[in-house]
Amino acid sequence: MKKYIVSVASCLFALCMQSCFQDMDHPAFDYPESTGEVPTTPLKMYLPFDEEDIRDKGEWGFLVADNGNAKFVEDGIAGMAYQGAENAYILAKTPSILENNIPTIGDLTVAFWMRTTKNTSAQGLFSIPNSIKFWGNFDIFLENNNSETQAFFKVHIFNQAAKENDERWVEAKIDDIFGSEWVHLAFVYDGNTSTITVYRNGEGVFTKELPDCGKLKFNNVGASLAVGAFQFSTTPSLTSGAGAQTWAKNFPGQLDQFRLYDKVLTATEIQSIYSGKE
């Protein structure tokens, strides 16, 4: 019995020592050193898609994944770019540090490079989901249009700032979008002026006031943002309010340098992003 106790004690000691030290031939821990500081940048999410990598390269750390069908092209605006498809989309899970920021985002800028041809069905581009409604809290998508080059964008907003479920729609027809060239787009919502502005290649080309809309405040925000899809087109759907629709498709074109800000980017800042191919 004494030998048995000694043997067990020796094993426990060995296991304890093994847990205290890394195997330096095969190190198990390679975590970046944490500063403990909360980021302050208004750039909340940044997807450059370089080196076939869909991860968020911003400071806040959205957990980004695709549905297993993501592909890439080498001739992006800056390095590689995401290649969409009818069966592909990206989900960006909001980090816990931003769980209270997204529902009270106030102002918003969504900026990205896009290259695509004329659409023949509605195509989802971006959504901040509403987990119980048909439409998201903030949606950007392409609607059908007869033009070979002019795009018909729609923006949908569910705002809770001034009144409950204040639903707004914006329709913007922007020239010279479809074709073989990369185009930079920025959708900017200013809560102080209740105005949405669309920029194409660094220039403001559309502005609409949404009277009394105010700062953006969302309810029932889904855990993940959708890129390249409607909120109800993912599997499973990001909302209990709807499932896949036959008229709604995922974005089959190419995206690059996708950015989400919780601020109103100025015309100068947007022009700088465009000029620098950022």
Residue-wise pLDDT for 137-153, tens only, equals: 999 999 998 899 999 99
Domain that holds residue 252: 41-275
Q: Does 13 reside within a domain?
A: no
At 278 the pLDDT is: 86
Residue 36 pLDDT class (50, 70, 90 cuts): low
The CB density around residue 6, as the number of other CB atoms within 10 Å, is 10
The answer to whether position 27 is within a domain reads: no
Asked if residue 23 belongs to a domain, the reply is no
Residue 26, domain member (yes or no): no
Nearest CA to 84 out of 233, 276, 262, 193 is that of 233
In a domain, 89, yes or no: yes
201, part of any domain = yes
pLDDT band, residue 38 (cuts 50/70/90)? confident
Q: What percent of the chain has pLDDT over 70?
A: 87
CA angle, residues 147, 116, 81, in degrees to nearest 5: 165
* Cα–Cα distance measured from residue 50 to residue 35, given in angstroms and rounded to the nearest whole number: 26
Mean pLDDT on 11-35: 38
Which residues are registered as beta bridge partners of 97? none
Dihedral sign for Cα atoms in the order 47, 51, 53, 58:
negative
As a whole number of angstroms, the longest Cα–Cα distance in the chain is 89
The CATH number given to whatever domain includes residue 120 is 2.60.120.200
Q: Is the pLDDT assigned to residue 237 strictly greater than 70?
A: yes
Beta strand spans in 160-253 (E):
166-174, 183-190, 195-200, 203-209, 224-227, 248-250
Q: Is residue 156 part of a domain?
A: yes
User: How far is 45 from 261, CA to CA, in rounded Å?
Assistant: 7
In a domain, 248, yes or no: yes
Q: What is the mean pLDDT of residues 206-232?
A: 98
Higher per-residue confidence, 34 vs 236: 236
Looking at the predicted structure, is the pLDDT value of residue 236 above 50?
yes
pLDDT at 33 over 80: no
Number of domains in the chain: 1
pTM (predicted TM-score): 0.86
Distance, in Å, from the CA atom of 116 to the CA atom of 83, rounded to the nearest integer, reads 10
- The per-residue pLDDT for 17 is 38
Cα atoms found within 13 Å of the Cα of residue 127, Cβ hemisphere only: 31
pLDDT mean over 207-220: 98
Q: What are 154-197's pLDDT values in tens digits?
A: 999 999 998 999 999 999 999 999 999 999 999 999 999 999 99
| Arithmetic mean of pLDDT over the chain | 89
47-105 pLDDT, tens digit per residue, is 999 999 999 999 999 999 999 999 999 999 999 999 999 999 999 999 999 999 999 99
State whether residue 148 is helix, strand or coil: coil
Alpha helices in the chain (DSSP H): 2-20, 267-275
Residue 76 to residue 258: CA distance in whole angstroms: 12
